[in-house]
Structure 1
């Protein structure tokens, strides 16, 4: 008996009765695929399921599939659970799906055609219909049209893909359920592109994506303050070498007339009618008035800014990083942070252009003021990973500390961290609790603020130092030399290459 052409890896958790329409849609698309000469197997991975979900899958039978295998794991994380399905897959290609979503009846045949259209391809559905809690229609453009800049800044594709099984196994999904990192599917798509794959859309395949609470991602908490883990797509040399692409849509809004035509098309009507017969919450009438959008509408700003900074800093390595709202606003003595021994990177978060102050050789200043405030902390993390992988960080409070020392603190593991709390306001007292475990030293220039900080956070005793605002240049220099001696570089790896 020959191996199946396609394995569907179905990940389930606590979907219960929602699995019934999903399984029926998978059966229908498998039957349709057989009319194109394709054989399909189903591998269902139950991750810490409830009894209803377990019963729905262990009792499921269908002649549409060459083989059905049910695996139970206790990862409570999508990445390892998807890997369990890949390990069991016998098909030449693997398609991923979650336990509450539906495939269109033509999904597998169209996705397989896209994946075998030449070269190494990750196929995504050309149409995604969001339903249940809210309704919208999305058209996915291929990577050649959306470009790398958008992908550097956001997940411009989706979790449901079809690609060669061996390729997906080699990549593997990473466990991204942490305080700083999330988005295992975004991470895999980034690494697929970095490994040479193209992402192409199967234009007439539709995914019906249910919007609800209670998924695995909801269980591990709101991921809105997290970022995709370091991966090779962010390698500065690759970012500069590839740029954005030659056929990229500059402004996704120019595609809006085609989106309205899609919403009214006979193709979408047929796919929705078939899916709606399985799941009544999928309603054509709602879609006729629903918002329409495309992944080409994602902003390119973050990726373009990262590309430009990589081009400017390419080939350099820094052994110290200073993060400050504006260098010109620092007390004169603390400017010596930038003048101490070694190569320094100064990141000015509130300035669009670097400070006009004269800086010594080996010191580079960059400004992030043109980026939206919500993205600056992420850019700092990316730059530190890429250009200062073992460097101590000097952070002057007054800008990005809530994000850097809150949810993203884990992303700075391996870096010694010195925080400067200047003035009598006592900003350090308002830092999120998890920040204090990451901080090696807090430097204050006000004795009352320093005493109040230790009183409020006794665990910081021994990690608070005084540097009076009146300190002379020589005193500042000696103080910084002492800090440098205490903060030896910590062994760490170049994080954008981490597997």
Structure 2
């Protein structure tokens, strides 16, 4: 079973569009008799978003809905992961879209390659504030340079991995407004590589990244937020 952990805050009508996309992914998995559990984390959510999420047909009676007030994406994801029953866990965002084959294809790649694999969509399509697309890099590709992670994050936050990966490496706190640290997914990517996990892209899958004029990412970039310390960049002198 794949447990899909998705966090919502104040997405409002965008939440419905995202859940439509997740429902398509779920139905695709079910065509291959792969069950999907939805774990929804409502973190300091507004009333409209809460109503839209709770009434959406993607959210079924046996799914998990968690109401929290962390105001922190790292903590919200950790809480959702702890409630997940699936052998595999997917981390999705509440305002983005995903190709219908993404979850199932990622799970199949992990089953073929092993539990040490962390999966990312092959292509990222940006839309909204601006339109563009890009291929994400595979860690085993000849062009992969680990030192580049010092300057930028190679992957989006959308991942699928065995639950044991998330149990061994949790997301760090990302309360950038008070502490100046953020980019919890970037930090997690570095920590998992340091621990020996391999980040791979799943062929013929894509994620659709909603670019907004105001977002958590744009706020963190504007405020020059740093990722927390990680031994990934440690070197002996």
Q: Is the 8 A contact 1:76 1:216 kept in 2?
A: no
* Alignment of 1:101 onto 2:96: yes
C-alpha contact (below 8 Å) 2:20/2:58 kept by paired residues: no
Task: Extract structure 1 runs of 4+ deviating beyond 4 A.
Answer: 220-224
1:80-95 matched pairs, under 5 angstroms: 80-95=75-90
Aligned to 2:134: 138
Q: CA deviation at 1:236?
A: 1.1
Normalising by structure 2, report the TM-score: 0.91
Change (3 A) 1:102 1:46: same
Q: Counterparts of 1:215 and 1:13 in 2: how far apart (Å)?
A: 11
Match for residue 37 of structure 2? 41
1:6 matched to 2:5? The reply is: no
Q: Which aligned pairs between 1:243-254 and structure 2 lie closer than 5 A?
A: none
Q: Deviations over 1:129-158 (max 9, x none)?
A: 111111111111201222312123211111
Gaps of 5+ in 2: none
Aligned to 1:200: 200
Q: Cα gap change, 1:148/1:7 in structure 2, threshold over 3 Å: closer, same or farther?
A: same
Structure 2 SS opposite 1:185: helix
Q: TM-score, normalised by structure 1?
A: 0.45
Distance 1:66 1:39, change over 3 A: farther
* Cross-structure match for 1:209: 209
Greater Cα radius of gyration, structure 1 or 2: 1
Q: Deviations over 1:100-126 (max 9, x none)?
A: 101111111121122233230100000
Verify the 8 A CA contact 1:78 1:216 in the aligned structure 2. Answer: no
Q: Find the counterpart in structure 2 of residue 485 from structure 1.
A: none
Task: Say if 1:166 and 1:107 are closer, same or farther in 2 by CA, change over 3 A.
Answer: same
In the alignment, which residue of structure 2 is the partner of 1:480?
A: none
Matched, 1:53 2:49: yes
Deviation at 1:217, TM superposition (A): 4.5
Tell me: CA distance 1:141–1:221, structure 2 relative to 1, closer, same or farther (3 Å): closer
- Does the aligned pair in 2 maintain the 1:57–1:70 contact within 8 Å? no
**Cα offset, 1:38, TM superposition:** 1.3
> CA distance change for structure 1 residues 183 and 223 in 2, over 3 Å: closer, same or farther?
farther
Matched residues in 1 for 2:151 and 2:214: separation?
27
For residue 168 of structure 1, give the secondary structure of its aligned residue in structure 2. helix
What residue in structure 2 maps to residue 175 of structure 1?
Answer: 173
Counterpart-to-counterpart distance in 1, 2:111 and 2:29: 14
- Cα-Cα RMSD: 1.9
Structure 1 residue matching 2:140: 3-state secondary structure: helix
Deviations 1:312-340 (A, max 9, x none): xx2xxxxxxxxxxxxxxxxxxxxxxxxxx
Q: 1:144 to 1:152 in 2, by over 3 A?
A: farther
Greater relative CO, 1 or 2 (CA 8 Å, sep 6+): 2
1:27 equivalent in structure 2 = 23
Matched-pair contact (CA < 8 Å) for 1:77–1:177? yes
| Match runs of 1:48-447 below 5 Å | 48-62=44-58, 67-119=62-114, 120-145=116-141, 146-178=144-176, 179-217=179-217, 222-223=221-222, 225-237=224-236, 314=237
